Structure 1
C-alpha cells in the first residue's frame, strides 16, 4: 500500500472552531456587562496567558503572574467593556484597582462553575515565542547592516 499524503486543511477548521467558541465567551461577557450584571448564580473563571500578544496588565501583576493568570468575575468587578476581539475589566488586587485588557485569543480556559460549563483552548504563542520564531527564520547575518534586525521587545514594555 502506498503512503498517502494527508489532506491539507486550507479552510483551517480547527481555528474557525476555536474562534467560534471564543464568541461564546464574548456573548457571556456581553450579558455580564449589561445593566443587570451576571445573572443568577453564574460567575466566570477566566484563565489567560499574560504574555500573549495584545494582553495589557499592570507591570506588578505581570511580575506576579509571568505566564498565566485566572481571574474571577462574580460580585466585585468594575468597568467591564466587551469588544469584538477583547474585553477589559477593573478588578482589585490587595484593595488596589487594576485594569486588565485581554484579547479572547489569549484565553486558555473559561469556566462557569454554577452550571459546570467549561471551554478550553490551545495556548496562544507568547510575544517572546513569536520573537524567537522571527529570529530563527531571519536570514543569517554576514556582517552587513542591510539585513533585518531583531529587537528585544523588553525595551518597549512599561516598567
Structure 2
C-alpha cells in the first residue's frame, strides 16, 4: 500500500524546512510571522527545564520581531527566543511540530497522529508564548490564544 499520510507529512515538513531556510538566509519578509506548536515531550526537543515544567506536553512559540541564532538543519532547527527578558535557545525537530501557522497570509499546517481526532478540545489550556520585540528594548513574552487567529 502507498502510505499517503506519511508521504504528505514528509512533504509538509520539507515545506517548513524550506521556509525556515529562507528566513535564516534573508529574515522574515513583510508581515510574515510563525506560530509553531510542538510536542515538548518529543525525545529530541531541547528547551530549558523551566519551560519544560511550564509546558509539559505542548508549547507554541511565535517567531516575529525578535528572534536570533536561527539555524536550520535537515532534522530540525534551533532558534533563540526571548521569554520575559530571558533569551532561551530552543531545538525543535520537524517531527515534533504539531502545527505551523503564518497568520499574515492565513496559511497553516496541522500534523495529526492516528489517535488524535479533529475536534478542538474546549478545555485545552495550552499557552502560546509570543517572543517578539521590535525595538532595541525587549518586551516580555505574551500569552496568546491561537483561537483568536482561527476562522
TM-score of the pair, normalised by structure 1: 0.69
In 2, the alpha carbon distance for the partners of 1:124 and 1:38 equals 33
1:58 aligns with 2:58: no
- Provide the residue aligned with 2:96 in structure 1: 106
In 1, the alpha carbon distance for the partners of 2:114 and 2:20 equals 21
Tell me the alpha carbon deviations over residues 87-142 of structure 1, each in whole angstroms, 9 at most, x when there is no partner.
010011111111100100000000000100000002599xxxxxxxxxxxxxxxxx
The unaligned stretches of length 5 or more in structure 2 are 116-151
1:20 aligns with 2:11: yes
- Provide the residue aligned with 1:78 in structure 2: 68
- The answer to whether the 8 A contact 1:52-1:124 is kept is no
In 2, the alpha carbon distance for the partners of 1:124 and 1:90 equals 32
Tell me which structure has the larger Cα radius of gyration. Answer: 1
Runs of 4+ in 1 over 6 A off after TM superposition: none
The unaligned stretches of length 5 or more in structure 1 are 1-8, 126-159
Please list, as runs of the form range in 1=range in 2, the aligned pairs for 1:5-154 lying within 5 A after superposition: 9=1, 11-34=2-25, 36-123=26-113
- Provide the residue aligned with 2:131 in structure 1: none
Give the number of equivalent residue pairs: 115
Instruction: State the structure with bigger RCO (CA 8 A, min sep 6), 1 or 2.
Output: 2
